Structure 1
Amino acid sequence: MIVRQQPNLFQLFFLVRGSVVQRIYPQALIIAGLSAAVVWAHHAYPGMVADFNSAPFAVLGIALSVFMGFRNSACYDRWWEARRHWGALICLSRNLSRQTLILRQPGDDPDASRRTLLTLAMAFAQSLVVHLRPGGGTDKVARRLPPETLARYNASRNPPEVLLAAMQAEIAALHRNGQLRDIPLQMLDRTLGEMAMVQAACERIRSTPVPFGYTLLLHRTAYVFCFLLPFGFANTLGWLTPFATALAAYTFFGLDALGSELEEPFGQLPNDLPIGALADTIEINLREALGKTDLPALPKPDNYILT
Structure 2
Amino acid sequence: MIVRQTPNALKIFFTLRGSIVPKIYPQILLTTLLSTLITVIQHWHPNSFPYYGTATFTLIGIALSLFLGFRNNASYQRWWEARTLWGQLVYDSRSLTRQVLSFIDEDNTTAIENGEDGKDNNETGRDIQRDMVYLTIAFAHAVRHRLRGTLPWADIEPFVAVTDHDRMHQAKNVPDYIMRLMGKQLGDIRRQGLISEQVIQNMDERLTSMTIVLAACERIHNTPLPFAYMLLVHRTTYLYCIMLPFGLVASLGWATPLICAVIAYTFFGLDALSEELEEPFGLAANQLPLTALSRTIEINLREALGETDIPPDITPINGYLQ
Question: TM-score range, shorter-chain basis?
Answer: over 0.9
Counterpart in 2 of 1:104? Answer: 105
Matches within 5 A, 1:8-23: 8-23=8-23
* TM-score scaled by length of structure 2: 0.92
Any runs of at least 4 consecutive aligned residues in structure 1 with deviations exceeding 6 A, and if so which?
Answer: none
Residues in 1 aligned to 2:151 and 2:22: alpha-carbon distance in whole angstroms: 25
Aligned counterpart in structure 2 of residue 237 of structure 1, from 234, 244, 252: 252
Residues in 1 aligned to 2:49 and 2:186: alpha-carbon distance in whole angstroms: 77
Which deviates more from structure 2 when the two are superposed, residues 113-122 or residues 151-160? 151-160
Counterpart in 2 of 1:158? Answer: 173
Residues in 2 aligned to 1:293 and 1:145: alpha-carbon distance in whole angstroms: 19
Residues in 1 aligned to 2:215 and 2:125: alpha-carbon distance in whole angstroms: 33
Matches within 5 A, 1:1-307: 1-49=1-49, 51-101=51-101, 102-107=103-108, 109-307=124-322
Deviation at 1:44, TM superposition (A): 2.2
Contact 2:50 2:250 survives alignment (8 Å): no
Task: Name the aligned partner's letter for residue 141 of structure 1.
Answer: I
Deviation at 1:124, TM superposition (A): 0.3
Deviation at 1:202, TM superposition (A): 0.3
Deviation at 1:283, TM superposition (A): 0.3
Deviation at 1:153, TM superposition (A): 1.6
Count of aligned pairs between the two proteins: 307
Counterpart in 1 of 2:115? Answer: none
Task: Name the aligned partner's letter for residue 29 of structure 1.
Answer: L
Contact 1:83 1:273 survives alignment (8 Å): yes
What is the percentage of aligned positions where both structures have the same residue? Answer: 44
Q: Structure 1: which 5+ runs fail to align?
A: none
Q: Structure 2: which 5+ runs fail to align?
A: 110-123
Which deviates more from structure 2 when the two are superposed, residues 259-268 or residues 291-300? 291-300
Deviation at 1:138, TM superposition (A): 2.7
Query: How far does the alpha carbon of each residue in 1:6-40 deviate from its partner, in whole angstroms, 9 at most, with x for none?
Result: 11000111100110110001110110000011111
Residues in 1 aligned to 2:225 and 2:241: alpha-carbon distance in whole angstroms: 24
* TM-score scaled by length of structure 1: 0.97
- Corresponding residue SS for 1:12: helix
Task: Name the aligned partner's letter for residue 23 of structure 1.
Answer: K
